[in-house]
Chains A and B, each alone.
Chain A
Amino acid sequence: DQQVKQNSPSLSVQEGRISILNCDYTNSMFDYFLWYKKYPAEGPTFLISISSIKDKNEDGRFTVFLNKSAKHLSLHIVPSQPGDSAVYFCAASAGGRTYKYIFGTGTRLKVLA
């Protein structure tokens, strides 16, 4: 049973436009959510996080939105740049157990110049 789902395997966006990546979860105990970016042959790198006590968190071009009632979070990248082309993973943890994140399957974003 997949607790964290990213239903779009890939997404293409024109440079300068908004990229919206989506993630759904089923475990209502999750209280901390993160987004990671991964380039080929590299480890995942942390982008942005959000606690369940918030519904929005911004960091520069990146904004994460959390809808707890729908068990849904999204990552907005504005404006998108070619260097943003990568695989994006969402991850969740429960009860402070940040040693056991549950990851989604990833969305490959391609930003077209």
Chain B
Amino acid sequence: NAGVTQTPKFQVLKTGQSMTLQCAQDMNHEYMSWYRQDPGMGLRLIHYSVGAGITDQGEVPNGYNVSRSTTEDFPLRLLSAAPSQTSVYFCASTKGQVSEAFFGQGTRLTVV
């Protein structure tokens, strides 16, 4: 059972480039979320989805897009990378309303 799988683990982008961070879960969880972790700031919510076809913005959504065409996949798109998006990105899935979130291993992104 793989749980939550994120790819890639590391990525370096130039300012202005675009890319997609992949996230897949095999637990049939309805809820999926993207967080970023920055030094001294904990994890902050970027976007979330409560089911296939349903997404919404979190605390820090600017510069990111998401879509959820299947229950399993929840990709995060950086439209035009900026140095301020240098961070560690975590994808998570949650089973229901009284449940912990299961996290992927993270993607460390550096924008130069």
User: CB within 8 Å of B: which residues of A?
Assistant: 4, 6, 9, 32, 34, 36, 41-46, 49, 51, 89, 91, 96-106
Contact = CB atoms under 8 A, between A and B. Distances in A.
Interface residues of B, number: 28
Interface in B41-75: 41-45, 48-50, 58
Interface of B: 4, 31-33, 35, 40-45, 48-50, 58, 90, 94, 96-106
B90 A89 contact: no
A63 B20 CA distance: 39
Contacts of A91: 43, 101
A43 B96 contact: no
A44 B104 CA distance: 8
Judged by DSSP, the binding face of A is loop
Contacts of A49: 100
Contacts of A100: 33, 45, 48, 58
For the residues of B in contact with A, the DSSP-based class is strand
Contacts of B33: 99-101
Given A32-B98, A98-B98, A98-B101, A43 B45 contact: no
Contact of A103 (B43, B97, B106): B43
Interface centre among A32, A36, A43, A106 (most CB of B within 10 A): A43
A43 B48 contact: no
A93 to B, nearest CB: 9
A98 B94 contact: yes
A34 B100 contact: yes
B42 A104 contact: yes
Contact of B42 (A32, A34, A103): A103
B98 A96 contact: yes
Interface centre among B35, B50, B99 (most CB of A within 10 A): B99
A67 B37 CA distance: 28
10 contacts: A32-B98, A41-B105, A41-B106, A43-B103, A98-B96, A98-B97, A98-B98, A98-B100, A99-B94, A101-B101
